[in-house]
Amino acid sequence: MSPRKEGPSGLVVVDKPGGLTSHGVVSRMRRLAGTRRVGHAGTLDPMATGVLVIGVERATRLLGHLALTEKEYAATIRLGQSTVTDDAEGDVTSEASAAEVTRAAVDAGVAALTGAILQVPSKVSAIKVNGVRSYTRVREGEEFELAARPVTVSAFTVRETRVPDGAPGLLDLDVTVTCSSGTYIRALARDLGAGLGVGGHLTALRRTRVGPYDLTGARTLEQLEESFEVLPIERAAAAAFPRWDVDADQARLLGNGVRIGTPALGAGTHAAFGPDGRFLALVEEQQGHAKIVAGFAQ
């Protein structure tokens, strides 16, 4: 039996529609790409829209590294109501009028949630507690607490405030957030409302960027149905990581998994390329040598 011929390896930046799970997008991509070797970098909730980075074939091995990069979101936070899911898909658990909340108070609350903070994830997240997903425990009515985790919110900006039609006790905030991997925007909405004493939840969420990949390069599922193509793995790696070009001898050694001496690459993960432009590996400098984080030569 002859080995399966591998198709093009690369990334697809999808503009995910609302109402579809990230796994649902992966299923669509498997059909379009003609392979089951498809994955995604960073889950988006069904309610959320925007950038979902999909890896095909060998590029699936890039996804874990891309998932750790900075992300940007546009969101709407509703003050005056708390929900069981911290977003609009859950039942309202408490209400308190936000009519007296001032812009100065909002700005102070946002400032307190900006920078390096400790955040308790939303209970309907996919975090596992003793091997069971947190959202499963919520559905089963279990009472439990999640531990706070360090995250970085590098920018949290209120673009506009407005009172929803027919709801004078509520206040909607259109915001943009730039944050580290692992930050829950629903939790920011919850914590902002809690800090203001009126409760809060997320009513809309759109991811506008994952690392270097943003909406300008994203395609809808309808567009991909008409014309499916991937961003080649070489271009994808060069866009996401600092580039390190090596000579033929170094390329051969890296391709065989040998740690070689490096120039002063600096901190972080780098993409190593051979003289023919072939993407060889993701490496990190460690005591003057290139530690191979993930190999792509074969």
- Residues annotated as catalytic are 45
Distance CA 18, CA 207 (A): 11
Q: What are phi and psi of 60, to 5 degrees?
A: -60, -25
Can you tell me the distance from the alpha carbon of 72 to that of 42, in angstroms, rounded to the nearest whole number?
A: 12
Query: Which of 6-29 are b and which e, b meaning 16 or more Cβ less than 10 Å from the residue's Cβ?
Result: eebbbbbbbbbeeebebeebbebb
Residue 170 CB contacts under 8 Å (≥ 6 apart), including other chains:
78, 79, 80, 81, 98, 163, 164
Asked whether the beta carbons of 69 and 204 are under 8 A apart, the reply is: no
Spatial distance between the Cα atoms of 5 and 35, rounded to a whole number of angstroms: 10
Write out the E strands in 126-170: 128-129, 132-133, 149-162
Question: For residues 275 and 245, is the Cβ–Cβ distance under 8 A?
Answer: yes
Smallest CA-to-CA distance from 123 within 139, 104, 112 is with: 139
Are 35 and 60 in contact, with CB atoms under 8 Å apart?
no
